[in-house]
Structure 1
């Protein structure tokens, strides 16, 4: 029995299943959670998806109603954890990634836990663990779960759509090095199951608000700073600037990739002051320009070699100074 068959066996014997994912949900955490939920339901079982906080508005089309939020429904989420006999940890590799409130519930739970994730250096807290750092996304691993457990015939548009969403968004529309032949093999299975891939691209890419475009325009025209010697692009945004353009969750998500698309750029960093801290997105190109070590060493972050996150308790200006100071330690001057 392979690991995926073991996981399905646990699903089929469980009565109270909880599916969790990390704070600040993205396409992969939402897509893998909903894809797994729908697969579990097709197996004839039920589950409850519990996330720390809300997903960005631009993901509402995929169907966020089944997701319970610790920020909005703490009593229901707490009760679900206390009753659970199987908990899934999706798209995170350490318990502190789900916020302190849910972390306490997860660590207190004595039931079986299943981690399915693709990030480096997983923490040892799960009973069963699928940790594949070579995988493009957690959604790809959930697709593997369906296929390699002998349930490929269950794949349909309902299950496949959020899984396609997760793979699409976590690979930067299939541009990142983590995309492997197996990624496309599984995508082909999702398309064969009825997933309307062109509609997913449309709903993701053609939903800009005027304020989001104005914010992005302002960021690129007024805030973009390029360190020519290191081929690094920086975009710092203060809370006042975000407020001026009516910032909504998700509005800055594409800025780091946009800066990285500038000819000659090897690294891009976006800084946004929100919720009392400076949240940071790191993006890079090539094996020779990893950004996860920089994020981990100096900004309480981490992630993948070419896509990582971090944070700073200092001001935007102070954080920017710090980034400029440490960049020579990580990237070669040309």
Structure 2
């Protein structure tokens, strides 16, 4: 199945206008871009008197919850049933593996499901897809949608803050190679509308627990440099989480740290789950003439993402997964 747009922004926006009840969701363990995309879109739909559900599959990073204003959030739990709706919108992913808890229910409504995404791969056969893989963040696309849906939309503090957090976090606060002129232009519009970017950075990036630092030490202690120091691999085992008291979601940004070494072109972080869930693998690479397409690496584990940032989830033995990753990096 080719993962590409079949619906224009204008047509998709019209579907939202006429829908009386809309469910908006994103991938499990939402990052800033996923969370911001849901919040911005739901806030605008709410203001247009749409009955909207903002559905999240936990965990939700605590630093993000301050940007949702008075918007009610629905957190998925075992036994949750998707409400009947006129339209189901999935943002920042098009992969079944990332919405696994609701897959069985969502499959019943694919004929009225819209995907809005910026990734290069996905396998959810939704009836409507609006994909822009050149966008630095899904919030770049959502900004166009809310602009289409409501006049003076950036004057809404919840919307503008959510969009800014989305584009900032998905570009590493404008450091990553996916940052483009349109990203800075949107950031400028949002700041001009009143976004306090320094306060949002503090809320999003400087509210961590001491346990995260302890886990970071474990990750760096596990680091191996391979292939003439061009590749770095880190592993976090179940014991690392239990002994430090850190949570699985507190690994955010760890995979970026080894890129400070000039010779390192690609980084992989492998995390063993605390329960029976799959092993999580995160991939990152630097741009340049020796750039590694990490989406191709992730595909070896049925994952995907972007050329410079990708991920995968897989079952199996941790050491076997580690060995496979090393083989790929040294091939």
Q: TM-score, normalised by structure 2?
A: 0.89
Pair 1:129 & 2:129 matched:
yes
- What residue number does 2:184 align with? 184
Pair 1:247 & 2:235 matched:
no
Residue pair 1:92, 1:117 contacting (<8 A) in 2 also: yes
- What residue number does 2:3 align with? none
Pair 1:306 & 2:308 matched:
yes
Residue pair 2:33, 2:166 contacting (<8 A) in 1 also: yes
Shift of 1:325: 1.4
Map 1:115-126; keep pairs closer than 5 Å.
115-123=115-123, 125-126=125-126
Q: Could you tell me how far apart the structure 2 residues matched to 1:312 and 1:135 are?
A: 27
CA displacement, residues 64-97 of structure 1 (integer Å, 9 cap, x when unaligned): 972222225x44x42x1xx201111111123443
Please, which of 56, 60, 64 is the counterpart of residue 55 of structure 1? 60
Residue pair 1:280, 1:311 contacting (<8 A) in 2 also: yes
Task: Tell me the secondary structure at the aligned position of residue 251 of structure 1.
Answer: helix
Pair 1:289 & 2:297 matched:
no
Residue pair 1:57, 1:250 contacting (<8 A) in 2 also: no
Shift of 1:142: 0.4
- What residue number does 1:332 align with? none
Map 1:209-220; keep pairs closer than 5 Å.
209-220=209-220
Q: Could you tell me how far apart the structure 1 residues matched to 2:214 and 2:131 are?
A: 40
Quote the RMSD (CA, aligned, Å): 2.1
Between stretches 286-295 and 266-275, larger displacement belongs to 286-295
Cα pair distance change 1:215/1:54, threshold 3 Å: closer
Cα pair distance change 1:295/1:34, threshold 3 Å: same
Q: Could you tell me how far apart the structure 2 residues matched to 1:144 and 1:40 are?
A: 14
Shift of 1:167: 0.9
Shift of 1:228: 4.9
Residue pair 1:116, 1:130 contacting (<8 A) in 2 also: yes
Q: Could you tell me how far apart the structure 2 residues matched to 1:295 and 1:110 are?
A: 26
Task: Tell me the secondary structure at the aligned position of residue 201 of structure 1.
Answer: helix
| Structure 2: gaps spanning 5 or more residues | 1-6
Map 1:48-127; keep pairs closer than 5 Å.
48-63=53-68, 66-71=72-77, 74-75=79-80, 77-78=81-82, 80=83, 83-99=84-100, 101-109=101-109, 112-123=112-123, 125-127=125-127
Residue pair 2:230, 2:266 contacting (<8 A) in 1 also: yes
| Structure 1: gaps spanning 5 or more residues | 330-334
Cα pair distance change 1:313/1:9, threshold 3 Å: closer
Map 1:264-279; keep pairs closer than 5 Å.
264-274=263-273, 275-276=275-276, 277-279=278-280
Q: Could you tell me how far apart the structure 1 residues matched to 2:298 and 2:124 are?
A: 22
Between stretches 108-117 and 281-290, larger displacement belongs to 108-117
Q: Could you tell me how far apart the structure 1 residues matched to 2:104 and 2:129 are?
A: 20
